[in-house]
Amino acid sequence: MTMVFSGTTSTMKSGLNFTFSYSVQSVTSTTYRVAGDFAGNPSVTFTAWLLKNGTTLAVNLNHSSSNMTGTMAANLVQGYFGELAAVQGFVQEQSIYSNLFRSNGTSTVTIGTNTFTVTNYTAYALPETIQLCTGETDSLTAYSLSEGTPSGSSYELPVYVSIAGSSTSNGSATPFAFTIRITAFTVG
């Protein structure tokens, strides 16, 4: 089962504000062609060609006449999609720290032609402190998650995530705020 996404993430972390929008332009049996727009400082548009196993084939920045490949291209893709991975980490933490979060009911969402039920989650109380096994402490001041399993899929898709708070490591606190909303996907 493969899912192809389009969406937007906005974040504020250590004073960095940006919006990252992306869409899958085409899909072959082995490759995704993804267009991205990173609105921040500096702002960048790019096209990335990715194998379905996650390997980066090439990246073109700002419609230049040449593509980057190899480690440089892979690092760029990792950098731009890294915030999405960080938010996915928070979503996974919910199952580990299930005593801190509760269902706030269900709702029906329609994304493109897909209509399905999502469960909405919130924290029992805010602020909520989570002591991670790495020694880091996360203090959540906002938490909202909606996820469900689209028809034809066995993957639980987080369609909306909004998290804010601060992360403290070695006595130093760093504020963070993430919002991700999936705006389109296909199940194949």
- Digit-coded pLDDT (tens) for 82-141: 655 555 555 666 666 677 889 999 999 998 888 999 999 998 999 988 887 778 888 999
**pLDDT of amino acid 113:** 85
Residue with tokens 């389009």: 6
Number of domains in the chain: 1
Tell me how far apart the 2 most distant CA atoms of the chain are, in Å.
52
State mean pLDDT over 29-55.
83
Which domain, by its residues, includes 156? 3-187
Tens digit of each residue's pLDDT (9 = 90 or more) over 51-95? 877 788 999 998 889 999 998 888 888 777 765 555 555 566 666
HSE-up of residue 49 (Cα within 13 Å, Cβ side): 11
Where residue 16 falls among pLDDT bands split at 50, 70, 90?
A: low
